[in-house]
């Protein structure tokens, strides 16, 4: 009994301190909480990397483990007890095979795609001057044909030029000396950042291996902590909600990453067959931007099409047709096969989730906004259905539409006599 009292008082004190820190940081701009959270995130970066890698690689580890288990039981006639005894070795072999596949794929991308990508970027930089004059001639010809637009554009550019000159003389030039002095130090800072990221990534890989090997025990300990902290009913609800949330979130994130990888590879193959310029660069852009739901294909196709247009208008037309066909294939075949109905939300709410997530958190928010919104929607629906079931009311939305129509029909006869009296 005393332990429960001490636990409640300790939790209350901790939450009170957190509330005071948040209040101070929000209203007095102390920056204490922000500094602490930033430092904590920096220190725990390898842990976050390990958690993310373990989370994404779990399905592949399970697949290899099932395959090895089937092979062992099929060809050696191993009994169930022996299978359980050798489960640790199977898990280790599955993790080893998983990371072998990941490293082999990474090596292939680095050895095949990266050199071509570097060549494409180098060629783009070399031809930048030619593209500039080409766009300049197009714009000059078009503005001469439309003088009213030309005068408006001239006024706008003049304003931008005057503002640029003012910023250059008042802001940029006074700080040029400081930037030049800090350039040397910035190089070393950049090198340290790259080395630090590489070290964090290596530590993250080690942590991911440990998490993958001990995931059942880790989950059991987390469940134990939840049941020790909350009441049994509350703990059951929390675990059910976490399970459903994990299914929605993991299904979307893993499925979308796999879908984007397939689209990037198909784009590379198609552009290579059509002999498009800057094929590796365009394929990477299309594949990466495809991660963003709904807006992703347009965000990747528009700059890629413009880049190809500078080289050949006819090839740009072929590229647009190819991208339209590729997106139709993705939207009607590949996407539904991989993702299924993992989100369960309409296109309208997908757009809202992308806009809200992108507005607050940028590009990562545009990607994670959809699964987060889907999880929140699922939790709200689950809680509403549970509450309605307790009250003995139906959980289907159609039942309430029928109920509304029935109420309207009941009220209709009451208004008819009044209408007759007015006549």
Closest CA to 94 of 65, 72, 58, 70: 65
End-to-end CA distance of the chain: give it in Å, rounded: 76
Q: Is the torsion defined by CA of 36, 39, 44, 49 positive or negative? A: positive
77 or 145: which leads in pLDDT:
145
Percentage above 70 pLDDT, the chain: 67
Cα–Cα distance, 122 to 126 (Å, whole number)? 6
pLDDT in tens, 394-418: 777 667 666 666 666 666 655 445 5
- Predicted local confidence at residue 423, as pLDDT: 44
- Predicted local confidence at residue 183, as pLDDT: 45
pLDDT at 27 over 60: no
pLDDT at 174 over 70: no
Closest CA to 378 of 222, 233, 230, 240: 240
- Predicted local confidence at residue 16, as pLDDT: 77
Least confident of 91-95, 101-105, 133-137, 225-229: 133-137
- Predicted local confidence at residue 341, as pLDDT: 60
Mean pLDDT of all residues belonging to the chain: 75
- Predicted local confidence at residue 149, as pLDDT: 64
Mean pLDDT, residues 16-37 taken together: 64
Mean pLDDT, residues 274-301 taken together: 84
Q: Is the torsion defined by CA of 221, 224, 228, 231 positive or negative? A: positive
Question: Residue 383's pLDDT band (boundaries 50, 70, 90)?
Answer: confident
Determine if the pTM surpasses 0.85: no
pLDDT at 7 over 50: yes
- Residue 318, H or E segment: helix 313-329
């Amino acid at each position: 009994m005393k332990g429960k009292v001490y636990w409640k008082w300790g939790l209350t004190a901790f939450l009170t301190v957190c509330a005071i820190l948040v209040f101070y940081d929000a209203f007095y701009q102390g920056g204490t909480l922000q500094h602490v959270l930033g430092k904590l995130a920096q220190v725990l970066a390898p842990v976050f990397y390990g958690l993310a890698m373990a989370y994404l690689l779990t399905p592949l580890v399970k697949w290899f483990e099932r395959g090895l288990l089937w092979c062992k039981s099929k060809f050696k006639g191993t009994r169930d007890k022996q299978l359980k005894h050798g489960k640790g070795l199977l898990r280790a072999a599955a993790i080893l095979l998983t990371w072998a596949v990941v490293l082999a794929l990474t090596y292939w991308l680095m050895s095949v795609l990266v050199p071509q990508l570097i060549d494409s970027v180098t060629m783009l930089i070399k031809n930048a001057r030619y593209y500039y004059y080409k766009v300049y001639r197009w714009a000059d010809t078009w503005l001469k044909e439309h003088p009213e637009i030309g005068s408006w554009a001239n006024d706008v550019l003049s304003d931008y030029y005057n503002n640029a000159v003012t910023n250059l003389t008042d802001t940029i030039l006074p700080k040029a000396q400081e930037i030049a002095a800090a350039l040397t130090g910035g190089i070393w800072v950049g090198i340290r950042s790259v080395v630090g990221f590489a070290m964090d990534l290596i530590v993250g890989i080690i942590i991911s291996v440990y998490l993958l090997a001990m995931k059942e025990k880790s989950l059991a300990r987390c469940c134990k902590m939840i049941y020790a902290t909350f009441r049994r009913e509350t703990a059951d609800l929390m675990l059910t909600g976490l399970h459903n949330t994990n299914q929605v979130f993991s299904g979307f994130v893993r499925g979308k990453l796999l879908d984007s990888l397939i689209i990037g590879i198909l784009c590379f193959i198609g552009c290579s067959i059509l002999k498009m310029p800057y094929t590796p660069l365009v394929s990477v852009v299309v594949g990466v931007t495809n991660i963003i739901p709904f807006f992703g294909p347009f965000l990747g196709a528009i700059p890629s099409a413009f880049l190809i247009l500078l080289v050949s208008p006819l090839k740009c037309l072929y590229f647009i047709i190819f991208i339209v066909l590729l997106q139709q294939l993705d939207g009607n075949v590949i996407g539904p096969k991989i993702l299924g109905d993992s989100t369960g939300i309409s296109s309208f709410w997908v757009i809202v989730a992308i806009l809200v997530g992108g507005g607050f958190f940028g590009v990562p928010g545009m990607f994670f906004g959809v699964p987060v919104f889907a999880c929140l929607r699922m939790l709200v629906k689950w809680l509403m259905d549970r509450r309605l079931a307790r009250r003995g009311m139906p959980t289907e939305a159609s039942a309430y539409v029928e109920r509304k129509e029935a109420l309207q029909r009941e009220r209709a006869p009451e208004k008819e006599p009044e209408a007759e009296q007015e006549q």
